[in-house]
Structure 1
Amino acid sequence: MRRVTHWSPFFIAGIIFWGGFSIGMEMKSREEFCIGCHEMQDNVYQEYVGTIHYSNRSGVRATCPDCHVPKEWGPKMIRKIQASKELYAKAFGIVDTPQKFEDHRLEMATREWNRMKANDSQECRNCHNFEFMDFSAHKSVAANVHDKAEEVGQTCIDCHKGIAHKLPRNHDASKAFQF
C-alpha cells in the first residue's frame, strides 16, 4: 500500500486555487463583464455597436476583450492590474455620469493608445496582420498607406484611433484617420 505524503493536501489545494483563479480571470475577460458597469454600457459600448467591429458582412465580431485584454497570460495579468484603476474610478464616482466620463475620456483613451502602441497593437494583429494582407484587394489609398506603415514600422493604433469608439474632445483628430 502506498503512503500519502504530507504535501499532498497542499498540492490538491494548489490545483483547486489555480483552477478557480483561471476560471475567474476568464469570466472577467468576457464582454458581459466589461459592459456590466453602466459607464461602459451607456458610453463606449453604444459607440462600438455602430461599428464594423460589431456588425459586418463576414459575421466576425470583435468583442471588448478581443481589443482590450491580451491573450497571453503575463500581459493579461499586467492588464488586469492596470484595470484596477478603472475599478477605482467606478467605485469613487470619477466616471459615473456621462459628463464625468467625457471629462476623463482623453486620459483613458491616451492610456489605452499608449498600451497598444507599446505592444505593437498585438490585439489588432490577432485578426489583422500585415503579413497576411492582400494589398491588391485594398483600395489604392489603403494599400499605399498600409504598405508605407509596414515599411516605417507603424502600428495599427498610430492611424486607427477612433475606429471602435468616438475620439475624445480635445484630441487632435489630424493624428488619426476617421473611418
Structure 2
Amino acid sequence: MNKRWIRRLLVTLIAIAVIVPVVMATGWIGTEAMVENTSEAEFCTSCHTMEPFARAHEQDVHGGNNLGGVVANCTDCHLPHDGAAQHLFAKATTGVRDAVAQAIYPFHKPDWIAGLEDRAEYVYDFGCLSCHAALKDATSDDPAALAAHKAYFGGDVGEGCVSCHENVGHKTLRVMLDDHFDEVSLSKMPEGNGEA
C-alpha cells in the first residue's frame, strides 16, 4: 500500500466518523424541535376551525388556568403515547387529516356538537394518567368518584376518562363553538352549558 492511499482512507474514515454523528444529531434535534413546535395550541390553532377549542382550553385548569400554571399541550391528550413510531405516525396522519378538513371547510362544515359525543375516539387516557398517576391509589371524599376510579383501574370499566369527564380540558367548549361558528346554535345543544 502506498502512503497516499492510506492517507485518503484515513481522511475518509475520519470524515465519516465526524459527519455521520453530526448528521444524526442534527436530524434528531430537528425532529425533536418539529415535534415540540407542532404540539402546542399556537400551532394547532393556526387553522381557523381550532380557535374555539384553544380558547376553551385556555379557560380550563389543563390549559394553565391553575395555581401552578401547568399546561397540557394538545398532543398530550389527543395523540397516543405508546411508542415513538405510533406517536409520530398518528401525528402525521392527524395533521394531514386536519389540513384536508381545513381546506374543504367552506364546502363541508362538521357538526362539532355531534362530534363531541365521539370524544373518546380522539382523547387518549395516557394524557390523563401521565399527570394523574397517583389517582390509582388515591382516596376521595366522594364515594362515587372513588368507586368509579377503582373500577376504571381494575379494568371493570372499558371506557376512557372522557366518558365521565366529558368537558375535561376544554371548559365551556359548547359555548365557544356557538360563539365561533354560525352553523352551531345553542338550540342544538343538549342540556347544560358546557361547564365542567
With normalisation by structure 1, the TM-score equals 0.69
- Structure ID, larger Rg: 2
SS in structure 2 of the partner of residue 157 of structure 1 = helix
Q: How far apart are the structure 1 equivalents of 2:61 and 2:99?
A: 28
Shift in alpha-carbon separation, 1:33–1:13, aligned structure 2, 3 A: same
Matches within 5 A, 1:13-162: 13-41=23-51, 43-54=52-63, 55-71=65-81, 72-83=83-94, 84-93=96-105, 100-101=109-110, 103-107=111-115, 110=118, 112-116=119-123, 121-129=125-133, 132-136=136-140, 138-151=141-154, 152-154=156-158, 155-162=160-167
Tell me the C-alpha RMSD between the 2 structures. Answer: 3.7
Equivalenced residue count is 166
Q: How far apart are the structure 1 equivalents of 2:190 and 2:89?
A: 29
| Deviation at residue 131 of structure 1 after TM alignment | 5.5
Q: Residues 31 and 65 of structure 1 are in contact (CA less than 8 Å); yes or no, is this contact kept in structure 2?
A: no
Instruction: Say which structure, 1 or 2, has more relative contact order (CA 8 Å, 6+ apart).
Output: 2
| Deviation at residue 4 of structure 1 after TM alignment | 1.0
Q: Residues 89 and 95 of structure 1 are in contact (CA less than 8 Å); yes or no, is this contact kept in structure 2?
A: no
Q: Percent identity?
A: 21
Name stretches of at least 5 consecutive residues in structure 2 with no aligned partner: 1-6, 178-183
Q: How far apart are the structure 1 equivalents of 2:28 and 2:148?
A: 45
Q: How far apart are the structure 2 equivalents of 1:63 and 1:14?
A: 27
Q: How far apart are the structure 2 equivalents of 1:95 and 1:140?
A: 48
With normalisation by structure 2, the TM-score equals 0.64
Name stretches of at least 5 consecutive residues in structure 1 with no aligned partner: none
